[in-house]
């Protein structure tokens, strides 16, 4: 039997997928009606956390943050079976994941952090990406079942905090990308370029390839060999901000980047590659 704690959009669809595969699933949610709704799909809803996890071999979590995970696990702990595996899909801090792995091991329960790059449809379909790290013996024992929950399962090794770290890095990329795209759309508006034209530009630029090239350049530490000089990049940033301001458009990312450009220019790095911005000024 499996217990699923936290049945919002993601947790509810994970639960439905488990039920469709013939699993018996107990569910709990802070808002009881969300758990209760899953009884129509075959789940058994509980208002008491300890009762919800009693007899479960695996306890899955999809909650909001470190605090909620710690509170829920503490409240559920009286019902944990010896040797049960906690599989936490919550996006949490890396230190928090490491601390929980150590803490619950002392209690005779295994904690594995398994954050995901998924939306609710992925959880229902078993697509998207799930990451794990930690005790490899435990991961090996649950790997076949976790693989059914996702399109791709990535194992990042023994460090119980590694999956959490990778998840945060991935989310940082998404947030940064949104900021950059927002600036592009706003500047496009200022320049009377339809936002729909950006799709063709992305095909030319190949963002994935550009990102890989930037990482390679930054880690090579060859900023004195410029392909785009910092002074020229700063000039372009000035043009972007001037033209956006003239059309009363707000840029989210570029003004902050320009300030760091100025710090490096003040240090005499005008001829260096603009990727020197990745370093501490």
Could you say which DSSP state residue 195 is in?
G
In angstroms, the CA 87 to CA 188 distance is 44
Please give the average per-residue pLDDT across 222-230, as a whole number.
97
What is d(CA 223, CA 257) in angstroms, rounded to the nearest whole number?
A: 17
- Contact indicator for 25, 12 with CB cutoff of 8 Å: no
- Average pLDDT rounded to a whole number, residues 235-251: 97
User: Which pLDDT score is estimated for 141?
Assistant: 97
| CATH number, domain 166-278 | 1.10.1040.10
Encode pLDDT of 79-133 as tens digits: 999 999 999 999 999 999 999 999 999 999 999 999 999 999 999 999 999 999 9
Is the pLDDT at 68 greater than 90? The verdict is yes
Q: Is 51 exposed, middle or buried (0-12, 13-18, 19+ CB in 10 A)?
A: middle
Residue that is written with structure tokens 């919002």 in the block: 8
Residue 268: band (very low, low, confident or very high) from pLDDT cuts 50, 70, 90? very high
Q: What are the extents of the domains in the chain?
A: 2-157, 166-278
> Is 269's pLDDT higher than 80?
yes
DSSP string, 55-122: T-SEEEE--SSHHHHHHHHHHHGGGPPTT-EEEE-S---HHHHHHHHHHHHHTT-EEEE--EE--HHH
- Give the H or E element holding residue 152: strand 152-155
Tell me the per-residue pLDDT of 251-264, one tens digit each, with 9 for 90 and over: 999 999 999 999 99
Distance CA 66, CA 56 (A): 22
Give the dihedral of Cα atoms 189, 191, 196, 199; nearest 10 deg: -120
CB atoms within 10 A of CB 55: 14
DSSP 39: G
Strands ordered across the beta sheet of 110-113: 44-45, 25-28, 2-5, 58-61, 85-88, 110-113
* pLDDT of 281 higher than 80: no
Chain segment 125-166, per-residue pLDDT in tens: 999 999 999 999 999 999 999 999 999 999 999 999 999 999
Identify which of 155, 122, 121 has the alpha carbon closest to the alpha carbon of residue 138. 155
CA torsion sign for 185, 186, 188, 189 is positive
Beta-carbon contacts of residue 137 (< 8 Å; ≥ 6 apart) = none
Q: What pTM does this model have? A: 0.91
Query: Cβ distance 19 to 41 under 8 Å?
Result: yes
Write out pLDDT tens, residues 27-66: 999 999 999 999 999 999 999 999 999 999 999 999 999 9
Tokens 């760091």, residue located: 260
- Determine the topology of domain 2-157 in CATH: Rossmann fold (3.40.50)
The rounded distance, in Å, linking the Cα atoms of 245 and 235 is 15
Question: Which run of H or of E encompasses 4?
Answer: strand 2-5
Q: C-alpha distances in angstroms, 244 versus 73, 172, 181, 184?
A: 49, 25, 14, 10
């Amino acid at each position: 039997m499996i217990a699923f704690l936290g049945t919002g959009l993601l947790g509810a669809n994970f639960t439905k997928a488990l039920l469709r595969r013939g699993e018996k699933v107990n569910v709990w949610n802070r808002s009881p009606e969300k758990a209760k709704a899953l009884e129509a799909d075959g789940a058994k809803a509980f208002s008491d956390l300890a009762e919800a996890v009693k007899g479960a071999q695996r306890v899955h979590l999809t909650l909001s943050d470190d605090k909620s995970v710690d509170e829920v696990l503490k409240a559920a702990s009286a019902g944990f079976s010896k040797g049960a595996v906690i599989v936490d899909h919550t996006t949490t801090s890396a230190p928090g994941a490491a601390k929980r792995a150590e803490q619950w091991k002392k209690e005779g329960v295994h904690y594995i952090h398994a954050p995901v790059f998924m939306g609710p449809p992925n959880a229902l379909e078993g697509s998207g990406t799930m990451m794990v790290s930690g005790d490899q013996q435990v991961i090996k024992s649950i790997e076949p079942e976790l693989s059914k929950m996702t399109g791709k399962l990535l194992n990042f090794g023994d460090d119980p905090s590694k999956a959490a770290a990778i998840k945060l890095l991935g989310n940082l990329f998404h947030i940064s990308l949104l900021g950059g795209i927002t600036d592009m759309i706003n500047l496009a508006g200022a320049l009377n370029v339809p936002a729909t034209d950006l799709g063709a530009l992305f095909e030319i630029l190949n963002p994935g390839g550009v990102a890989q090239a930037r990482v390679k350049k930054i880690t090579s530490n060859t900023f004195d060999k410029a392909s785009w000089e910092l002074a020229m990049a700063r000039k372009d940033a000035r043009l972007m901000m001037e033209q956006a301001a003239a059309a009363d458009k707000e840029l989210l990312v570029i003004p902050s980047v320009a300030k760091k450009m100025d710090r490096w220019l003040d240090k005499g790095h005008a001829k260096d590659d603009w990727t020197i911005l990745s370093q501490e000024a």
